[in-house]
Amino acid sequence: MLLIGLTGNIASGKSTVARLLSERGATIIDADVLARRVVEPGMPAFDEIVRRWGQEVVAPDGGLDRDALRRLVFAHHEQLEELNEIVHPEVAAYRDRLVDEARQRGDRLVVQDIPLLFERGIVDQFDRIVLVDAPRPVRLERLMRERGLGETDSMDMITAQMPAELKRARADYIIENIGTVRELEERVSEVWQALEREANSHATTHAVS
């Protein structure tokens, strides 16, 4: 099994790339989906978040008010780190279980979609790293247009992440998302074909050894 880390800063188009890879046959493990599950009411991370930030981050339906929490933590790096320290260990344990299940099924290409892959220092856990990128002005415009956020909130979210330039230097494959959907699909297909070749080589090597 070839284990791939898929990452990209906010509004780079990473989720679209994950969908395109899934359509081509990849097993996708989405850290954002897992992060939502581990903060559902009754989960340990939910209780810890409410203890730290109070009822202000609890929505009327009793769930987590993610927008309220985002407003509190994204402008304060130390609070963002506190939140990460609560959520990420829970997500990592969940992710490990899903990887084990994929390995037992015999899945060939498993893509873990992890926004903070570089920030969490887990690059070495993967056979290959795929980075989705777009220039900062493009990502800022996407955040404001697609999520209805103001410029200040959008910039807070962008600057809270490691600069893409540092990530590009450590990625095995870079998918530029600055053109049309067709151009993005073509680039994803190129990367997918390369990953398939590597997965075949990886499987042959392990079979021989």
pLDDT by position in tens, the chain (length 209): 999 999 999 999 999 999 999 999 999 999 989 999 999 999 999 999 999 999 999 999 999 999 999 888 987 889 999 998 999 899 989 999 999 999 999 999 999 999 889 988 999 999 999 999 999 999 999 999 998 889 999 998 898 889 999 999 999 999 999 999 999 999 999 999 999 999 998 877 765 44
- In degrees and rounded to multiples of 5, residue 54 shows phi and psi of 85, 180
pLDDT at 209: 47
> Which residues have C-beta within 8 Å of that of residue 65, sequence separation ≥ 6?
56, 57, 58, 59
pLDDT tens readout for residues 70-110? 888 987 889 999 998 999 899 989 999 999 999 999 999 99
Q: Are strands 128-133 and 109-113 parallel, antiparallel or unpaired?
A: unpaired
Residue pair 93/37 in contact (Cβ under 8 Å)? The answer is no
In the chain, the domains with their CATH numbers are 2-208 (3.40.50.300)
- Give the gyration radius of the chain's Cα atoms: 18
pLDDT at 203: 75
pLDDT at 48: 96
Q: Which has the closest alpha carbon to 65: 54, 74, 75?
A: 54
